[in-house]
Amino acid sequence: MSQRISGVKGMNDLLPPDIEVWHFLEARARETFRRFGYQEVRTPVLEDTALFVRSVGEETDIVGKEMYTFEDRAGRSLSMRPENTAPAVRAYIEHAVHVREAVTRWYYLGPMFRYERMKTGRYRQFWQMGGEAYGSAEPAQDAELIDLGLQLIHGLDLPGVRLELNSLGDENCRPAYLASLTAYLRAHQSELCAECQARLERNPLRVLDCKNPKCQAVVAGAPAVTDALCRPCQAHFEAVRHKLDAIHAPYTVNPRMVRGLDYYTRTAFEFIADAPALGTATAVGGGGRYDRLVQELGGPSVPAVGWAMGMDRLCLLLAESGKREEAKPELFVAAADAAAQDEAFRLVSELRRSGHAVDFDPRGGSLKSQMKRADKSGARFALVLGERELASGDGELKPLAGGESVRIRLDTLGAALAARLR
């Protein structure tokens, strides 16, 4: 036997029947984005490495340790996207979308790549769905996106997901906050992990994000960013909260939440689910405002805000609650002999052409084995074709979950099925 080749570590195959959970999630997501007026974009999986270095930030774990980066055959440094906010901004600028419309609302679904330590809910290829809105600096835009996230989670019928909210300030008030944070952290330098001791000077906000318990103990006493906001940032934060209160959106303010990406200004938020199915990977989504990113990537000065959710994690929660979009046939057609097999094949093709989900066993075989397969398929009805049915043009539509069979004319089978499935 030849040697078996395994899939890449941390990258999952999504197979039936589990894929039905994904279909459920994707259908609900698309429907929710449509209701909110967000349109789908699809950007390439590969981007210029510089895009992520300049947006997500050189000092972040994502760029520093987790990117799949390589040189292509022409010697360009490319990276597999670890997230989709920067690629969407790149496309927004490249296609001069701001010239066409003042406000743009986009969404995406797709695989992202981060070379992370794997555990439940944390993979190296994972899926995100996200929404991004460009062109509005108003708090109503932040609140709309949060409402979109909450309505999506509600539509998935996932209780127990909470929203944490923060404001990270802007270029006016953040420098002073960073200075006081740095001073505090310097005073506790020896209590920090080696990595945070180094981070402290280069990017002190990242220390707030460190998962090391020693660092977290120091962070607990650190100055809160919400106490250091300038007046306009404070007013913005209050207005976002006011809008969320008006729609009864529940949230808690967490002044230590900084997110793991550098591009945020003002509003930042996370959707957290403390469910056993997720282990410690409790963040099902996160996002915030990034008013400077479009300009920093060479575009016009256009404010923006967005979020992304981890689809793998949402699917773990959905699988627990039994939610899925089932793909079961309406009818299974079995054939008693070779002559009936030809007719069954023709009938199945015709029913499928007119829109019905119909199955049969291409291997033929005994009626007993075909009926076993019919049961396994989960079909609502079965129909057996044999000599008698071919001669009379009639057949018995048998409900597989039990109940009386009904005689029908084979040439009205489509209508008979439709009437019974209604």
| Residue 130 touching ligand HAM (CB under 6 A) | yes
The least CB distance from residue 146 to ligand HAM, in Å, is: 12
Q: Which of 286, 303, 329, 414 binds ligand HAM (CB under 6 A)?
A: 286
Cβ atoms of 248 and 147 closer than 8 Å: no
| Residue 123 touching ligand HAM (CB under 6 A) | yes
Q: Which of 28, 54, 81, 114 binds ligand HAM (CB under 6 A)?
A: 114
Q: Which of 169, 204, 285, 395 binds ligand HAM (CB under 6 A)?
A: 285
* Contact positions with ligand HAM (CB under 6 A) in 69-88: 83, 85
**Helix and strand totals (H; E) in the chain:** 17, 16
Q: Considering beta carbons, is residue 117 or 202 the nearer one to ligand HAM?
A: 117
Question: DSSP assignment, residue 138?
Answer: S
The least CB distance from residue 316 to ligand HAM, in Å, is: 10
Q: Considering beta carbons, is residue 116 or 147 the nearer one to ligand HAM?
A: 116
Q: Hey, is 136 helix, strand or coil?
A: coil
Question: DSSP assignment, residue 122?
Answer: B
The least CB distance from residue 360 to ligand HAM, in Å, is: 39
Q: Considering beta carbons, is residue 126 or 360 the nearer one to ligand HAM?
A: 126
Q: Considering beta carbons, is residue 207 or 261 the nearer one to ligand HAM?
A: 261
Q: Which of 260, 378, 386, 399 binds ligand HAM (CB under 6 A)?
A: 260
The least CB distance from residue 312 to ligand HAM, in Å, is: 5
Q: Considering beta carbons, is residue 288 or 395 the nearer one to ligand HAM?
A: 288
List, edge to edge, every strand of the sheet that includes 69-71: 46-48, 77-80, 69-71
Which residue type occupies 418?
A
| Residue 126 touching ligand HAM (CB under 6 A) | yes
E strands, 256-316, are: 267-273, 283-289, 304-310
Q: Which residues of 369-396 are buried (b: 16+ CB within 10 A; e: fewer)?
A: ebbebbeebebbbbbbbbeebbeeeebe
User: Which residues make Cβ contacts (< 8 Å) with residue 152, sequence separation at least 6?
Assistant: 28, 29, 32, 309
The least CB distance from residue 219 to ligand HAM, in Å, is: 18
Stretch that binds ligand HAM, among 33-41, 114-122, 153-161, 234-242 (CB under 6 A): 114-122
Q: Hey, is 355 helix, strand or coil?
A: coil
Q: Which of 89, 146, 283, 334 binds ligand HAM (CB under 6 A)?
A: 283
Maximum distance among all alpha carbons in the chain? 93
- β-pairing, 406-409 vs 394-399, is antiparallel
Two tokens at 130? 């996200």
- β-pairing, 267-273 vs 161-167, is antiparallel
Q: Kindly write out the interface string for residues 301-320 of this chain, putting x where it contacts ligand HAM by CB under 6 A and - elsewhere.
A: -----xxxxx-xx-------
The closest alpha carbon to 307, from 92, 94, 79, 152, belongs to: 152
User: Which residues make Cβ contacts (< 8 Å) with residue 367, sequence separation at least 6?
Assistant: 334, 336, 384
Stretch that binds ligand HAM, among 149-157, 159-167, 233-241, 300-308 (CB under 6 A): 300-308
Cβ atoms of 224 and 232 closer than 8 Å: no
Residue carrying structure tokens 């998935």: 156
Q: Which of 287, 299, 395, 414 binds ligand HAM (CB under 6 A)?
A: 287
Which residues form the interface with ligand HAM (CB under 6 A)? 83, 85, 114, 116, 121-123, 126, 128, 130, 132, 260-261, 283-288, 306-310, 312-313
